[in-house]
Chains A and B, each alone.
Chain A
Amino acid sequence: MKLVYFAWVRERIGLPEETVDLPADVKTVTDLLAWLKTRGENYETALERSDVIRVAINQEHAEHTAALPRNGEVALFPPMTGG
């Protein structure tokens, strides 16, 4: 699955995007955030306050309870500050 990161999530992880093979038990956004945090200190720092992390699945806003798509793009980013 393709993961894309924006703003301080991108800076703290140190990557704009990556492709990952998810373990079978990672089924929801919440699972994904917990799994990513085990991948290193940079992920732990970026996703420390996971409640504030916003998520988009295939470029549409999604809740943390949403199921992950089999294929596609999941984006993680801070609350938006456009306008």
Chain B
Amino acid sequence: MTAPCEPLVRVQAEDFDPAAESRRLTEGRRDVGAVVSFTGLCRDENGRLDALELEHYPGMAEAEIARIAAEAAERWPLTGLTVIHRFGRIAPGENIVLVVAASSHRRAAFESADFLMDFLKSRAPFWKKEHVSEKNSGDWVEARAGDLEDMKRWQR
């Protein structure tokens, strides 16, 4: 088997362009047969959320995402892998996280993107706080027990 691809990991306050990131993994190549792109957005379920504040652990956030991405690149035959996670204040409708996985075949691309998101949820050091109005900050979002279950699906 060829060497695992070198994942691109970015942790940033600014927005990203999912289409441009997908293109980066396919441009000028003839060996890519599948690209799976997942974008996680800030959502407002009942009209009360002003924004989410995403706190992160600088340094560890990059390092932990890089560890998870490297594991995915070992496990699936990927031709490219990009993970971008934003921090700071993010309003409903805005992007939070992007995973783009490229491979010769679809299953590796689908599975690795799914794996990345399950592990990012429970292992990447980010915490969401809800802002319910300009002045008041709301509560910290609680981790779901289901997030840990999602991660266990990938044990082997």
Q: Is A61 part of the binding interface, using a Cβ–Cβ cutoff of 8 Å?
A: yes
CB-based contact A6/B97 at 8 Å: no
Instruction: Assess whether A40 is interfacial by the CB under 8 Å rule.
Output: no
* Residue in contact with B126 in the complex, picked from A4, A59, A60, A82, CB distance below 8 Å: A82
Binding site for B on A (CB under 8 A): 4, 6-8, 56, 59-61, 75, 77-83
Indicate the member of B117, B124, B125 with the most A CB atoms within 10 Å. B125
- Distance of A46 from chain B, by nearest CB (Å): 13
Q: State the interface size on chain B (CB cutoff 8 A).
A: 27
B85 interface contact, C-beta 8 A: yes
CB pair A4 B57 closer than 8 Å? yes
The interface centre, meaning the residue of A6, A79, A80, A83 with most chain B CB atoms within 10 A of its CB, is A83
Chain B positions 119 through 156: 1 when the CB is less than 8 Å from some CB of chain A, otherwise 0: 01111111111000000000011110000000000000
Closest to B59 in A: A59
Q: Are A82 and B124 in contact (CB under 8 A)?
A: yes
* Cα distance A54–B126 in the bound complex, in angstroms: 12
Contact B121 A6 (CB under 8 A): no
Provide the main secondary structure of the chain B interface: mixed
Which of B40, B55, B96, B117 lies in contact with A6, CB distance below 8 A? B55
B56 near A: Cβ within 8 Å?
A: yes
**B64 within 8 A of partner (CB):** yes
Other-chain contact of B127, A4, A56, A59, A80 (Cβ < 8 Å): A80
Partner of A80, one of B96, B117, B125: B125
- With a cutoff of 8 Å between Cβ atoms, the chain B residues found around residue A61 in the complex are 64, 123
Q: Tell me if A81 and B57 are in contact (CB < 8 A).
A: no
CB-contact partner of B122 in A60, A78, A80, under 8 A? A80
Binary contact readout B42-74 vs A (1 if CB under 8 angstroms, 0 otherwise): 000000000000111101100110000000000
B57 touches A75 (CB 8 A): yes
Q: Are A82 and B128 in contact (CB under 8 A)?
A: yes
Partner of A82, one of B56, B63, B142: B56
**Interchain CB contact under 8 A, A81 and B120:** no
CA–CA, A33 and B7, complex, Å: 36
Given A6-B55, A8-B140, the answer on whether A83 and B60 have CB atoms closer than 8 Å is no
Residue of A nearest to B121 (CB): A83
